[in-house]
Structure 1
């Protein structure tokens, strides 16, 4: 469930909320689902990981009716000696309703860079989010914490965010908004913290989805300046 890990905060990477997965029953309470997307720029927490170029992304998830899930998600990135040309995420967690209209998602996620040739860029984090539905709107707040690791500078990092999605009645369109705050070793700002945000819209047509969003940060730079990101996605 790479798309549910940050709720609508996937806006910060692919710039819109990915389409709902079309689950296939495996029996025994298990189901499998997949997703793929073409994005004009892979933005993660406001930063371009594809050097502002097109990226190809996709993932697969296995979930149990109890709420537990495991999955993997990957994306092409800008080729470099440290990170290579591919990001591969692996994760496991639990997601479910804990009160009427209130859902919890918690788990652990590893960011892997299998093509990197210089050092070890892999790192991991724990995450949690709460989502609440109010009429046609869904509000999500969450946090992701990265403990101190050699690959991220031997210091920790925390990311907190808020998201909102508002479905327009009798249309396939959802309006989305996101704001996030990074503090720690993964910050790209000299003050060791920065803010990212985005505003967008998505339209879903069965398995297909198209989206557009404006993504930006409070940091000036070639990979952090505001840009419009388009996405074409499919779920299966």
Structure 2
């Protein structure tokens, strides 16, 4: 990398080049700027684009509290590209099973893009996620715009968010209920909040999540729903241990969906092996590598 060139004494427009005190001042000033020159050059040459990614192995893929892998393990990976202006875009994928297969798909692929804007001590993040299920039945994919506001107060980081998917066939109520109809379109609202805080003197971060879903109370064209039972709460309490680029996580996940609530959705909202709930309490472990 080419650094900045320091100016010679003869390049300065002085009235009296024979004045030793003035000459010494100029030389001293030039020498003081030398240590900063390489850093300045590095800043000027730094790319405004950042590429990052991660790969993870989780014991159960829970989407808003509900298992998307029939309570089995999942392999997940993602990559994002961000610009200094605040613009970003990326993709994330996971394998699926059971309830999460959306008409036969064995993979979920999320494409997203958005813009982050600093607002005082907080950051506003607005964007859109396109949920795709390659290999699944028709009328599977759906779009969901979102907005998130995050900030940090001392050791605690907080975030509140809203995601609203406008009426789409993938979210419609096509099940055998009096309100159902083939071709029906429904919308979906998700509200959530997150808190996290590092434990002083340790590489451990404690985290918590609370979410609320309001959407289709029946089943969509693929025998599933983004908001099982229509409205419900989901929550999570957990901890992460960071060791360089690797993060080990453990979390307790649960929802307000009871066995009585899900009866009319069976056998869909149940484990394919024994019919047990896939929206009940579960301890989920994970290992994630960032790059």
- Which category of TM-score, normalised to the shorter sequence, fits these structures? 0.7 to 0.9
Q: Report the counterpart of residue 231 of structure 1 in structure 2.
A: 286
Q: CA deviation at 1:95?
A: 1.7
Cα distance in 2, alignment partners of residues 81 and 193 from structure 1: 20
Which one has the largest radius of gyration?
2
Is residue 175 of structure 2 the alignment partner of residue 175 of structure 1? no
Is residue 143 of structure 2 the alignment partner of residue 105 of structure 1? no
Q: CA deviation at 1:228?
A: 0.1
Higher strand share: 1
Q: CA deviation at 1:104?
A: 1.1
Kindly report structure 1 stretches of 4+ aligned residues shifted beyond 2 Å: none
The DSSP-based 3-state class of the residue aligned with 2:96 is: strand
1:148-187 alignment, distance < 5 Å: 148-153=167-172, 154-185=185-216, 186-187=226-227
User: Does the Cα contact within 8 Å between 1:83 and 1:121 map onto a contact in 2?
Assistant: no
Which structure 1 residue ranges, 5 or more long, are not aligned? 1-25
Please say which of residues 165-174 and 74-83 is displaced more in the overlay: 74-83
Aligned residues: 207
Residue 147 (structure 2) aligned to one of 117, 128, 132: 128
Which structure 2 residue ranges, 5 or more long, are not aligned? 1-44, 173-184, 217-225, 260-276
Q: Report the counterpart of residue 114 of structure 2 in structure 1.
A: 93
Q: TM-score when scaled to structure 1?
A: 0.84
The DSSP-based 3-state class of the residue aligned with 2:170 is: helix
Higher helix share: 2
User: Does the Cα contact within 8 Å between 1:82 and 1:120 map onto a contact in 2?
Assistant: no
Q: CA deviation at 1:119?
A: 2.2
The DSSP-based 3-state class of the residue aligned with 1:84 is: coil
Q: CA deviation at 1:50?
A: 0.4
Q: Report the counterpart of residue 195 of structure 1 in structure 2.
A: 233
1:1-236 alignment, distance < 5 Å: 28-78=47-97, 80=101, 82-100=103-121, 102-116=122-136, 118-153=137-172, 154-185=185-216, 186-189=226-229, 192-221=230-259, 222-236=277-291
